[in-house]
Chains A and B, each alone.
Chain A
């Protein structure tokens, strides 16, 4: 017996236009051919061939795809979301690479950078020849980035940066880091962004190893030990926390779709496995308890997709508000994790092995739940939108 896929059940394709389907199919094919055969190995070895993948993703046009000009494809935000979904069906680490490159580093330069910043970096980053990272979080400042300690001090015309950033995706492999730091303006602290080439003396990026999650992704510390930069290194247009937060909004939007990819992959594997697996003389998928699990997972996946597409259309119309992104990120990552775990149970012991993707996806989603605003932070954002009370502090 073969049945319908969860997205077919929701007639998701009828909500997409031709170009969106073509781009989705192109990424899916890339993931099937290039990523699936190897991702288990990358995960186990905790290493990702970032450079190779970046140029291949650049050729496809995924990097900074929703940005205009400077070698970027200029697609809709919805198409970008669909690409994230397909990438994350491969692995959240791969999607993280693309999110950080396109939505954090490239977006920051595109939105807040000078014309020289854009000319210098964006075309190479779109092609995957240059890799970017985004340094906001610090060892003692995560959910509350305003409490960051990294400081940019004026010295003549130059800026001198000192401090440590933590949990920075792509850090050790990056050519350029967008680093956020406190500056003193008229006796008051202001967060500003700096474009830091990673060969700047005083900059180093040791990799964080021994992770149990996002193993197919490079995570690093950024150490700024008196890194001296010219005056032109500052992002001229970003003044205050709104700068980095706008970038996070972009990346979170991609995750709203992305997380569903991991869930879909788990569900597809569970459906196929349950069909093949014989228990008590029948196919596991013919039992009511199994069907209840599969039905519930499909329902969450489809609902998540409808939410994602709704947010995508709002974003393309320029009407998406931050608390709406929070609705999507909170729901879709939380449900994707629940789907991954439920699907794991369908496989029994086989589900805990490397042969199947459930544990890898579930482990990855723990990071996805935390980065780009923890679930709690998104609850607080939504709570504030509902009640008018800020409960952050």
Chain B
């Protein structure tokens, strides 16, 4: 069985995040890391590998991103993935979801050339853009069924049962592999890379592919091909202090009611 886990390299949320002059996220100037939400996907892939007794399960970590994005693959390898793929090309910078999913789909297909891909695992969203749409777009492009927001995954052969946590209900979905599956942060704590994992990762194979390697036309991706553009971005203004009602003459309650009414809360 072959699992591809999508891992995104995102700016560290604890650092100062910046936009570039074209209003894309600055990915070079700030420290980055493997998106925390993707760590859950890596963890689920590794658990499937560990639970598959006697069966050979290969976990491939795939990232699309600038040079530094190799860090995200490395982290996944340190956690226990078997090999990595890093798709990087100047022309990809500024790609929207449609273009990103196109590149990812081409990469998954290429990974599949050396043995069919049974499962594509993703996080529920990235911690920087938070779009959550890439798994669905990727499933469409690969012509595969998709299950999103899984919290528990059980597999028997090519059958999987996925617990899916929705806003109003919990569903249990049965599916036949291959599928595209996204998992939530409720799916189970991601492991620390152990020292043996860190040492072993140094020797694991990582392939670096360009758009040409994938047969994707550079004109179809990148900022210029994006379907939407950010025209302006500014930092949220600092929070202003709220109004303090001091009740000296018994008018406090009225003041509160007036306030709530003015905001249409009552």
Contact = CB atoms under 8 A, between A and B. Distances in A.
Contacts of A53: none
Interface string B188-214: 000011111111001000000000000
Identify which of A19, A30, A59, A62 gathers the most chain B CB atoms within 10 Å of its CB.
Answer: A19
Contact of B192 (A18, A30, A75): A30
A29 interface: yes
A74 B194 CA distance: 12
A94 to B, nearest CB: 16
B196 A22 contact: no
A60 interface: yes
Contacts of B195: 23, 26, 60-62, 65, 73, 75, 79
B199 A22 contact: no
B78 interface: yes
B192 A29 contact: yes
Contacts of A74: 199
Nearest to B192: A26
A19 B202 contact: yes
B74 interface: yes
Contacts of A73: 194-196, 198-199
Contacts of B74: 18
A26 B196 contact: no
Interface size range of chain B in the complex: 10 to 19
- Decide if the interface of chain B is mainly helix, strand, loop or mixed: helix
A26 B201 CA distance: 15
A19 B192 contact: no
A264 to B, nearest CB: 19
Contacts of A22: 75, 78, 193, 198
B192 A60 contact: yes
B192 to A, nearest CB: 5
Contacts of A19: 198-199, 202
Interface in A326-379: none
A61 B202 contact: no
Contacts of A30: 192
A37 to B, nearest CB: 17
A23 B192 contact: no
Nearest to B201: A19
Interface in A69-90: 73-75, 79
Contacts of A65: 195
Given A26-B195, A73-B196, 4 more contacts: A19-B198, A22-B78, A26-B198, A73-B198
Interface of A: 18-19, 22-23, 26, 29-30, 59-62, 65, 73-75, 79
4 closest cross-chain pairs (CB), A and B = A61-B195, A73-B195, A61-B194, A73-B196
23 contacts: A19-B198, A19-B199, A22-B75, A22-B198, A23-B195, A26-B193, A29-B192, A30-B192, A59-B194, A60-B195, A61-B194, A61-B195, A61-B197, A61-B198, A62-B195, A65-B195, A73-B195, A73-B196, A73-B199, A74-B199, A75-B195, A75-B198, A75-B199
